[in-house]
Amino acid sequence: MTHAQAMLDTHPRQVSNSSDLSEILHDLEECSATCRLCADACLAEDMVADLRRCIRLNLDCAAVCAATAEILGRQNEGDPRVTQSVVEACITACEACAEECERHAEMHEHCRICAETCRRCADACRRAISLVQ
């Protein structure tokens, strides 16, 4: 059991589907970290100028995933419209980042890993939409 799972299980609001939410939070946080690391790896490449769009999308995706995890983790008095909009934006960011990283995946293993992580996170966000409706 993760600490997030334990927190959700002990939350006074009795979080339904806490194990699903815990897994989604994990995927979001992992994607955020992976995207930041991919951006850093891209900056270390000799052909960094060719990776500018990838770096930008990595950083955008990392920020959106972190914000989405923060918002999904809140269990008090939220507005489902806001939460759903944020989750949908996260799906868009993850898909855009994955597409760009896939363009570089043959040359850069870090981009392949990032694309895979972004795809997994987009899938997690699709599962999250059913939790917030």
| pLDDT for the residue numbered 25 | 94
Is the domain spanning 18-132 CATH 3.40.190.80? The answer is no
The residues of the chain scoring below 50 in pLDDT are none
**Nearest residue to 51 via CA among 93, 118, 110, 92:** 110
Q: Taking the complete model, does pTM exceed 0.75, yes or no?
A: yes
Q: Cβ distance 74 to 39 under 8 Å?
A: no
Q: In terms of residues, how long is the chain?
A: 133
- Per-domain boundaries in the chain: 18-132
| pLDDT for the residue numbered 73 | 87
Interval 76-111: pLDDT, tens:
778 889 999 999 999 999 999 999 999 999 999 999
